[in-house]
Amino acid sequence: MQSLNGEKRMARSDPAPSRWAYRFQRLMLTPVFRTLLRVGVPFALCLVATLFYLSADGRRDAIRLAIADIRAEIFNRPEFTVRLMAVDGASDGLSADIREIVPYDFPVSSFDLDLETIRQDVAGLAAVRAASVRIRNGGVLQVDIVERHPAVLWRSGEGLHLVDIEGVVLDDVTHRGAHPDLPLLAGRGADRHVREAMEIFAATGPLTPRLRGLVRRGERRWDVVLDRGQIILLPEIGPIQALERVIALSDAQDMMARDLVAVDMRLSERPTLRMSEGAVENWWKIRNISVENDGS
């Protein structure tokens, strides 16, 4: 007996693909479709899975917490801990000031330190000329300071100030006796010409013991004030040469020891002396005596 299904079995052995299988294969061979399948579908699946996972608040918070924990753990490792601060190149007072303005309580993680802000804060102090801040091996915050040193005392309308050679006001001083070693300047604008004033001080030579200070006149030239109220008025240009001439005269004729009030060197071709009132009267008296003697 021959099977009645024989026809169908023969049909199934047909090697030809069905129309849909053929179309499906052609679709799978389409480059755009394959790219979509290879990239687009996994991407979409991952996206959906991630979004589904993150749609719950609890999971999001847990992830955030875990990240924060890991961060804290790394930050708090001993390798990254800064335990103390070293300040180099600063005097004790300045060092105390710096320690005061750095707003951190040690130990602290180096990730939490904002070195640039610290540097700017420290450099903002008047007594600091330059500052560099770094974290040294061994967890030390190293602050290197180049300090300003007071060069002169400056008496202005507001009081007595310490001024460094560049004219930066470092501090206020209550009385002159606190810094007897520093020379004294006075007058408006004197702080901007400290370097010139220092040169004049250096040139005083034998007059140094008698020197009281320098006065800036009209923000343009200097007066040298000696004791006994004597003043040497220096010109605007070449004050050192003028002072040296005065010193030479003083050496030769003992001029400054006499009863002068002022030596006016403002016009170099015509130095002028101003004597004190008593000296003038005496001088007149002497002249009269001599005239009388001559005339008799």
Partner 1 sequence: MIELYESQRAMRNLRKAAMQRGVVAVLDVGTSKIACLVLRFDGIDPAGGDVGSMAGQAGFRVIGAATTRSRGVRFGEIEAMAETERAIRTAVQAAQKMANIRVDHVIACFSGAGPRSYGLAGEVDLEGQVVSEQDVSRVLSACDVPDYGTGREVLHAQPVNFALDHRSGLIDPRGQMGTRLATDMHMVTVEAAAVQNLALAVRRCDLELAGVASSSYVSGVAALVEDEQELGAACIDMGGGTTGISIFMKKHMIYADAVSMGGEHVTNDISLGLQVPPATAERLKTFLGGVMATGMDDREMIDLEGETGDWEHDRRQVSRAELIGIMRPRVEEILEEVRVRLDAAGFEHLPSQQIVLTGGGSQIPGLDGLASKILGQQVRLGRPMRVHGLPQAATGPGFASAVGMCLFAAHPQDEWWDFELPVEKYPARSLRRAVKWFKDNW
Q: Which residues bind partner 1 (CB under 8 A)?
A: 14-17, 19, 22-23, 25-26, 29-31
Our CB check for partner 1 shows the closer of 14 and 73 to be: 14
CA distance 151 to 168: 10
Phi first, then psi: give them for residue 35, nearest 5 degrees. -60, -45
For the chain, the straight-line distance linking the first and the last C-alpha, in angstroms and rounded, comes to: 189
Our CB check for partner 1 shows the closer of 5 and 18 to be: 18
Our CB check for partner 1 shows the closer of 20 and 52 to be: 20
In whole angstroms, the minimum distance from the beta carbon of 28 to partner 1 comes to 9
Start-end of H helices in the chain: 6-12, 19-28, 31-35, 41-54, 57-75, 92-101, 115-123, 194-203, 239-253, 277-295
3-state DSSP of 36-100:
HHHHHHHHHHHHHHHHHHHCCHHHHHHHHHHHHHHHHHHHCCHHHEECEEEEECCCHHHHHHHHH
In whole angstroms, the minimum distance from the beta carbon of 7 to partner 1 comes to 15
What is the crossing angle of helices 194-203 and 239-253, to 10°?
20
Our CB check for partner 1 shows the closer of 25 and 76 to be: 25
Our CB check for partner 1 shows the closer of 6 and 278 to be: 6
CA distance 248 to 265: 13
In whole angstroms, the minimum distance from the beta carbon of 43 to partner 1 comes to 23
Our CB check for partner 1 shows the closer of 15 and 180 to be: 15
In whole angstroms, the minimum distance from the beta carbon of 4 to partner 1 comes to 20
